[in-house]
Amino acid sequence: MVKPSTLTLTLAILVAIFLVMPLFAVIPVSFTPKRFLSLPDGEWSLRHYRALIENPEWLQSALTSISIGVVSALVATGIALLFCIGMWISQPRYRGLLTGIALLPMVAPPVVSALTLYFFLITLGKINSVIAYDAWGGVVLSHAVMIAPYAVVIITVALSQVDRRIDLAARGMGATLTQRVVRVILPNIKFGIASALLMTFILSWEEIGVSLFVTSVNVVTLPRLMWMGLRDNIDPAIAAVSVVLIFLVVVVIVTKTLWGYRRSNGSV
């Protein structure tokens, strides 16, 4: 394996620092003792971190985002999995066109998608109260529609690495379609499915554009609550939330890196 030169490594480090510095700049802001966003002036305070614990709105919005993210990821990944496996097995003539249609929410302007979902949920709200505007089910449906194309891309890539001969061999030995999918195809793309679940959950967790159109007061996700704080009074608690999220992301990345390192060493 070719090692990068010193110049290349230095440039990579400088670019990484340039990209990360704005994230770390929010850390001192979260310790300001003032009621507005500002850098601490000699005095550091934990008042805004205490506000996250004492104010039930932050915890409730975080739980709402988690529940919506988990269900949306499961729904989007399940739909993408059925679509991709069906395309991989049947190989229809117009699979390129069908795939393009499935990826439309990814390439369409977010405002157009948000407005479409808004009017769609308003219409559904006339016949039910579960999947409707400003309802938990409506937000789940909206997020699932927006994140499903990303799951389609990931699972399609995973399926492209599967050797079709093993499916043909299973078919030749009399395996049914269900047996081929469950015992042959799914085990070979399990890491792709896991990646799709993780990616779609993250996308749903941070979704704000569509959420602003399909929610009002009954369903408030964490990104929407942060947006409301920035719009209304520039609450420094938003900086504290950002620091907590950055810390969680760093923990996940470090854990995944260490797990992959130990796994690679164990396989050698």
Structure letter (DSSP) for residue 92: -
**Which candidate, 231, 237, 234, places its Cα nearest to that of 30?**
237
pLDDT-based confidence at residue 133 (cuts at 50, 70, 90) = very high
pLDDT in tens, 196-216: 998 899 899 888 889 999 988
3-class DSSP state of 117: helix
CA gap 18, 13 in Å, rounded: 9
Q: Is the pLDDT of residue 12 over 80?
A: yes
Please name the amino acid found at residue 87. Answer: M
CA gap 9, 15 in Å, rounded: 10
- Average pLDDT over all residues of the chain: 86
**pLDDT attached to residue 67:** 94
**pLDDT attached to residue 147:** 94
- Of residues 233 and 94, the one with the higher pLDDT is 94
- Per-residue pLDDT, averaged over 67-90, amounts to 94
Structure letter (DSSP) for residue 5: P
pLDDT in tens, 237-262: 788 888 888 888 788 778 877 877 77
Provide the residue ranges of all domains of the chain, joining segments of one domain with +: 75-220
- Per-residue pLDDT, averaged over 132-143, amounts to 92
- Per-residue pLDDT, averaged over 19-39, amounts to 79
**To the nearest whole percent, how much of the chain has pLDDT over 70?**
96
CA gap 185, 82 in Å, rounded: 12
Give whole-number Cα distances, 255 to 17, 87, 133, 262, in Å: 21, 35, 38, 11
pLDDT-based confidence at residue 118 (cuts at 50, 70, 90) = very high
Q: Is the pLDDT of residue 134 over 50?
A: yes
Q: Is the pLDDT of residue 267 over 70?
A: no
Structure letter (DSSP) for residue 34: S
Specify the residue for token string 């795939």: 99
Residue 33 CB coordination number (10 Å): 15
**pLDDT attached to residue 1:** 54
CA gap 103, 150 in Å, rounded: 8
Q: Is the pLDDT of residue 150 over 90?
A: yes
- Per-residue pLDDT, averaged over 168-188, amounts to 89
Give whole-number Cα distances, 170 to 82, 86, 183, 192, in Å: 19, 17, 9, 21
Q: Is the pLDDT of residue 187 over 60?
A: yes
**pLDDT attached to residue 268:** 45
Q: Which CATH architecture has domain 75-220?
A: Orthogonal Bundle (1.10)
Q: Is the pLDDT of residue 28 over 80?
A: yes
**Which candidate, 248, 242, 247, 202, places its Cα nearest to that of 52?**
242
3-class DSSP state of 176: coil
The CB-side HSE value for 68 (13 A sphere, CA atoms) comes to 33
pLDDT-based confidence at residue 266 (cuts at 50, 70, 90) = low
Q: Is the pLDDT of residue 233 over 70?
A: no
The pair phi, psi for residue 134, each rounded to 5°, is 60, 35
**To the nearest whole percent, how much of the chain has pLDDT over 90?**
29
Dihedral-angle region of residue 234 (phi above 0 means left; psi in -120 to 50 means alpha; beta otherwise): left
